[in-house]
Amino acid sequence: MSEIKVGVLGARGRMGSESVRAIEAAEGLSLVAAIDHDDPIEQLLDAGADVVVDFTSPSVVMDNLRFCLANGIHAVVGTSGFDDARIAEVRELASASPDVGVLIVPNFSIGAVLMMRFAQIAAPYYESVEVVELHHPDKVDAPSGTATRTAELIAEARAAAGTGPVPDATTSDPLGARGAVVEGIHVHAVRARGLVAHQEVLFGDVGETLTIRHDSVHRESFMPGVVAGVRGVGARPGVTVGLDAVLGLE
């Protein structure tokens, strides 16, 4: 089996540089391009990249995907900012390149993927649920993609089970203390130095609560997911959201 040739976009950033090291160390993968904001993306073509890992920024990631799709390069995307509208835009772009796979991953941590799955399972059984995500203060978006995706999965599971809306008697919240609302689920974002990436899902019912929490204390925790995504994206043409399918959880 030939090696997969991999390019990393955003290669000098925190996640990009960690991905460069992980790809260089992974069996069956070959790092052929490490590109940052001041490098020409055409280096991917010169290097013959099969797959790109994108850890850039929401302002440039769509242009990167257009380039990859137009040139037959599979893409594993860890950049944030992919709401339903943006994912729909990617699906439309990808329809013109049916053999190319795009894997959009809100969180590459295996533990975070399992945390989301466990929350989805628990969601229909509790009257109340809220999500709290905690990250370092250099993170530019809030709520996190993981928290947004978690809330969406919880809402889908509750709707499928016929669970009613989450109770909340709040009628006055001029300062926004109740946080964001994603598909009817409250999501709260904390930003503090010393944190990396953490999330709690709080469930409540009469007489009991259930807390599902995941903590990433180092960016190395995301690398097994990045490597799995690189290895699996070529077998999944079109647009896939989340690592679930790659990990066999669907």
Write the CATH number for 199.
3.30.360.10
Catalytic residue from among 5, 37, 74, 135: 135
Q: Is 5 a catalytic site residue?
A: no
Of 110, 189, 193, 182, give the one whose Cα is nearest residue 153: 182
Query: Mean pLDDT across the chain, nearest whole number?
Result: 94
Residue 114 · residue 122 · CB < 8 Å: no
Task: State yes or no: pLDDT of 1 exceeds 80.
Answer: no
Q: Are residues 119 and 184 in the same domain?
A: yes
Q: Are residues 134 and 197 in the same domain?
A: yes
**Residue 135 falls within a domain, yes or no?**
yes
**Residue 246 falls within a domain, yes or no?**
no
**Residue 25 falls within a domain, yes or no?**
yes
Please tell me the predicted confidence (pLDDT) of residue 140: 84
Q: Are residues 209 and 157 in the same domain?
A: yes
Q: Which domain holds residue 155?
A: 110-217
Looking at per-residue pLDDT, the higher value among 188 and 246 belongs to 188
Looking at per-residue pLDDT, the higher value among 140 and 239 belongs to 239
pLDDT digits (tens, 9 = 90+) for 142-162: 999 889 989 999 999 999 999
Q: Are residues 184 and 137 in the same domain?
A: yes
Catalytic residue from among 5, 74, 136, 139: 139
Please tell me the predicted confidence (pLDDT) of residue 212: 98
Task: State yes or no: pLDDT of 80 exceeds 90.
Answer: no
Task: State yes or no: pLDDT of 201 exceeds 90.
Answer: yes
Residue 104 · residue 90 · CB < 8 Å: yes
Q: Is 74 a catalytic site residue?
A: no
Q: Are residues 18 and 99 in the same domain?
A: yes
Please tell me the predicted confidence (pLDDT) of residue 184: 97
Q: Are residues 96 and 174 in the same domain?
A: no
Residue 18 · residue 220 · CB < 8 Å: yes
Please tell me the predicted confidence (pLDDT) of residue 127: 98
